[in-house]
Amino acid sequence: MKKTLLYQIPNEIPQDIRHFVSGANIYDTSSSPGAKVYFIDKGNGYYLKCSNRGMLEKEFRMTKYFYSKGLSAEVLSYISNDSDWLLTTAVIGEDCIYEGYLANPERLCDTIAYELRKLHETDYTDCPLMDRTAEYLAVAEKNYRTGNYDKSHFPDCFGYSSAEEAYAVLTAEKDALQSRVLLHGDYCLPNIVLNKWKFSGFIDVGNGGVGDRHIDLFGGAWTLWFNLKTNKYRERFFDAYGRDKVDGEILKIVAAAEVFG
């Protein structure tokens, strides 16, 4: 994770949060245009995320829920005014794009597969978002209608030759996607934190909820391809997760949704 030291406290940080920031070094760790993320180097560390009003409400709820299951950071503050602000403790350890983990890709592949299977076996009866699959499909539908189609970030085995081909598959087969497990929703190496190879917690769980396991399975296979620059670990990942729960035909349906963002 890239950290850029800031030499003054950003003026827009709410007063109610400033006491966490006072006297600490602050780093900009943002990795996407959709949100600003600051690391506050104080105690064991804090993360402060800022986005447009209302954009972090689901992440707030799901982070609290994941924390209640021992799976994520503790939420310390959520403020929604002109912007959304979410303050959490830091999950101890390093995310899975740490060079020490990437240097052992077989172990890394097996580890994230095992942790995903454990997540999917977590009791979800009190989850605040009980039909993540419906939301997921609605986003794909909206993005298709607005022309948001990009298969450039997908390996050939998951790709479609055109938006129309992908949408035809999605329309015909989407009812096969079920809501039966607790999802991370953006299962990728940067969102999995290990501490000396031991699972420490998940971050960025705003797309989580109860949904079809193949959404996360697709993400796990994709992140190994994207971050390791090879697709050789795809089958190993599915084997380590457990082939009894992997359906290749449903993965193709998820792929049809993923090309629409």
* 8 Å CB contact between 191 and 95: yes
- Specify whether 186 is catalytic: yes
The residue annotated as part of the active site, out of 84, 95, 186, 204, is 186
Using CA atoms, how far apart are residues 70 and 216, in angstroms rounded to an integer? 19
Catalytic residues: 186
